[in-house]
Structure formats: structure tokens, C-alpha cells
Structure 1
Amino acid sequence: MSSGITPPFVASNLALDFINTQFGVGAERRDCLDDDGSVVEWLRQAHALTDELESPPEGLVQLARALRDNMKALIASAKDGQVADPGTVNRVLERGRPIERIEWEPTDAVFERKEYPRDQQSESLLQPVARALVELLTEEDLQLVKECEASDCVLLFHDQTKSHRRRWCSMATCGNRMKAAAHRARKHAR
């Protein structure tokens, strides 16, 4: 990432990890998407981009940030049972629609369905993220989309634990900090 900020991949969902590219509270607010190149790098790290690019399309960061804001609003409104405008998501889905083909797979002697990016424009690059949001909104229980319970963390995650009692974005960071703080508070109260 050109900003030097390591993006958190803790959400167990591509769409939520994309939303989490902006994180932190107050003066500690960070954004992993600071230019076109940083968006491409995030897509590579998320395994949403496998093709080589000569250079990122101009304006990719603006569309990525607009998409992220629209996605966040759609999740919040869906969780509240309210309507919201999916305009940016729909634009990316429509203009970035992949090309679908069937191809013969000689090793298994069968036809397989294959998808290829339409082109290397911004919408095509961001289309897997938008599609992940559609799957989240239409196929998953949104009550399992949670915000980390740490007071200084705003990261979202998809709780896929068996008991659905996950509380923190990451036990290694926020979970340990919050448990240590609770322990100190109990010890101080005695």
C-alpha cells in the first residue's frame, strides 16, 4: 500500500474487509485507499485481482471510496430494515459485469463455467467486491454482521462462529486488549 497502512483482513467476508479499509476513531482514523495504486494493491492482497495491470485506471480510488461508502450505507440500512440507494453498487455491478464462458477441461473431460473480467476499467476491478456485498445482503443473516465491541475499534466482521458469540474483530488485538483492560478494572476495584 502506498500509504504504508496495513489493511485489516479480519472480517471473514470480502465486502466487509473492503469497508474496513477505512478504520480507527478520531485522530487515529486511517484509510488504506489513498490513491489508485493502493486500491489495486488491496485487491491483490484480498485475492480479488489476479490479472497483471500495466497501470491502474485513473479515478479508481474515487470510485472505490464511493463504493465503500455506498456499501456501508446499504448494510446499515438493511440491518435497520430501511431503504437506501444502491446506485454506486449497481453501477459497478452493471458496468463491471464479467464475461462468462464455458470451456472444455481436458483433464476432467468436462465443460466448466469460467468468468473473466470484462476489461481493466475501475468497475471491472471492483466488481468482485460489489458482488460479495450482494451475496452478503441477499444470502446471509445480517444479524451476524457485527461491529467490534472494543471501544476504540469500528471494524465490521461476519460472525461465522458456531455459537455466533464473536465479539471482537480479532482476538489477537482487540480481544486481548479488552480482556486485559477488564482484568485491570476488576483488580483496581478490589
Structure 2
Amino acid sequence: MTDDVTPLELPAPLLLADHPALDLLNTRMMVDGQRQDLLGTDSDAASWLQQSGFGWVTGVEGSDGHLLARLRKLRDSIEGLVAARRENRLADPAALNAFLLAAVPQLVWEEGGAPVLDRFRQGDAASQCLSRLAYAAAELLAEGDFNLVRKCENAECSLMFYDRTKAHKRRWCSMALCGNRHKVAEFRKRRQGAT
């Protein structure tokens, strides 16, 4: 006898945090009450990197999971450092620094153009993408205003964001998702209280 359990269909990762390092953290999110990893294959990892603006990594279809493992390791590193930064406690940046080691500046001077300093020229395409992402995370950790790095106020949501609104009053990962749910719930409460 086989179990007729249908696998949970996971949503595509959302890019709504207003910072790529936080968008990476949001690739692990609450789905039906359980924290799920939205990145399950090298193809998922390559697609996320491309959609997030870090470039395209080719040749990952049917590969061994190496890109996924590296991206997850970077995500875990960033998650621990962001949590420590939000709590004003010390943390070890060694794992993030390992990704930054590939970010060796190179002067690129191509025919017909001016010289350009490219911080991410070293290594293969995957290493370049991961180094760019690690650099964005390091900038956030070192220079970001952590009063503006927040978790969605919906208790059932695990998504984080960088509040870039003018008044810095953003409460929800997205008004279309959690904000709207809150508005509907509040409307129902008021309506029930009126009867």
C-alpha cells in the first residue's frame, strides 16, 4: 500500500524585502504553518540569483546540487549575522568572509572603453554571483540601519524586509499579502462588534 500524500506545492521565492540579502533569507518561509525552503535544486538557486540581479549561472540543469549547497551556506551565514546584528550581539563573520575572498578587484580595460574596476571578476559565474550577494550582505551588516530591518508583523509570516518607506512605518512584508489579510481581519472584527 502506498501513501497518497501529495507533496506540498511551494510558491516561487518573493522579492519584496528591498534588499537582496533579506530576499535570500526570505527563500525560507512559512507555508501552511511550517517553515519551508523554496530553493530545492541548483536550477532554483540559479533562477533566484538571476531574478535578484546577480547574473545567470548556466549549466546547472541536472547538476549535483553544488550551487544550491553554496547558496544555502551563504544564506545560513547571513541569517545568523542578521539575527546577531538585530539583537546587538557579537557574531563570527568567517563564513561570510569566505564568500568575500572571491571578490578580488580586477582592473578591466576592454578595447574602445575606459578602464573599469570589477570587484567580482575572479572565478566562475557562480562564484561571481555569490560574491556579489555576499558583498551586498556585508554592506547591509556594516552600513545598514538595523532599525529599518524588520520582520513582518503578521505572526504567521517569517519574511523580513528593509523599510525604505519615507515615514519608515512599513509593517508588512507586502500589503498585497499580509497587510491585506490584516485589513480584512480588522474589518471583520469591527463588523462583528457592530452587530
Q: Give the TM-score taking structure 2 as reference length.
A: 0.83
Percent identity over paired residues: 34
The residue number in structure 1 matching 2:93 is 86
Against the structure 1 CA distance between its residues 128 and 57, is the aligned structure 2 distance closer, same or farther, given a 3 Å change threshold?
Answer: farther
**Equivalent runs, 1:108-147 vs 2, <5 Å:** 110-120=114-124, 123-147=127-151
Distance 2:104 2:43 in 1: 22
The residue number in structure 2 matching 1:173 is 177
**Equivalent runs, 1:40-79 vs 2, <5 Å:** 40-50=46-56, 53-55=58-60, 58-79=65-86
Larger radius of gyration: 2
Q: CA deviation at 1:104?
A: 5.8
**1:101 alignment partner, SS class:** strand
Count of aligned pairs between the two proteins: 184
Runs of 4 or more above 6 Å deviation:
none
CA RMSD of aligned residues (A): 2.3
Q: Which residue type is aligned with residue 35 of structure 1?
A: T
Farther off after superposition, 117-126 or 158-167: 117-126
Indicate which of 157, 166, 180 corresponds to 1:153. Answer: 157
Query: Which residues of structure 1 form unaligned runs of 5+?
Result: none
Against the structure 1 CA distance between its residues 69 and 115, is the aligned structure 2 distance closer, same or farther, given a 3 Å change threshold?
Answer: closer
- Please give the per-residue CA displacement for 1:149-170, whole angstroms capped at 9, x wherever unaligned: 1121110000001100000011
The residue number in structure 1 matching 2:190 is 186
Q: Give the TM-score taking structure 1 as reference length.
A: 0.85
Which structure shows the higher helix fraction?
1
Distance 1:105 1:24 in 2: 50
The residue number in structure 2 matching 1:163 is 167
The residue number in structure 2 matching 1:100 is 106
Against the structure 1 CA distance between its residues 126 and 114, is the aligned structure 2 distance closer, same or farther, given a 3 Å change threshold?
Answer: closer
Q: CA deviation at 1:38?
A: 1.3
